[in-house]
Amino acid sequence: MVTEISAQSEFQTLLNDHTYLVADFFATWCPPCKAIAPLYEQLSKANSAPGKVTFTKINIDEVPELTAQFQISAIPTFLIFKNGKQIEEIRSANAPALKKNVENIAAEVKGGGAQEQEEEKKKLEFEEDF
């Protein structure tokens, strides 16, 4: 489910309450924004997880303070945050990049992350030796 942000405080609350936050900065008058919206909605439905992954939409005309804070100069722009810090920026309606980044997040959330899986595997191999 995509949450439409109407205030900076609402964004901050979601950012604090989720490991990952994916933000779509858009405008209602923007054709590329409209074109990628169905994919964003689909990715949100398939990958949202309470407390772990949330998807937001931020209308640049209605929440200009967030637009300024993140120096959004092109739309759509997708920002991805992990533990409150921005880790990725996707400018324009780049569907393959958006999909790849969301799939990576989903894999990490479901599998605990590649590094954690590798550490767990080494731990199990070590225990088998004894």
- Which residue of the set 22, 33, 66, 106 is catalytic? 33
Active site residue 30: yes
Give CA–CA dist 105/87, Å, rounded.
11
| In contact, 4 and 62? CB cutoff 8 Å | no
First vs last C-alpha separation in the chain: 47
* 3-state class (DSSP) for residue 85: strand
Residue 77 phi/psi, 5-degree rounding, is -130, 130
Edge to edge, the sheet with strand 85-91 lists 2-5, 53-59, 20-26, 77-82, 85-91
- Which residue of the set 5, 23, 30, 90 is catalytic? 30
Residues identified as active-site: 30, 33
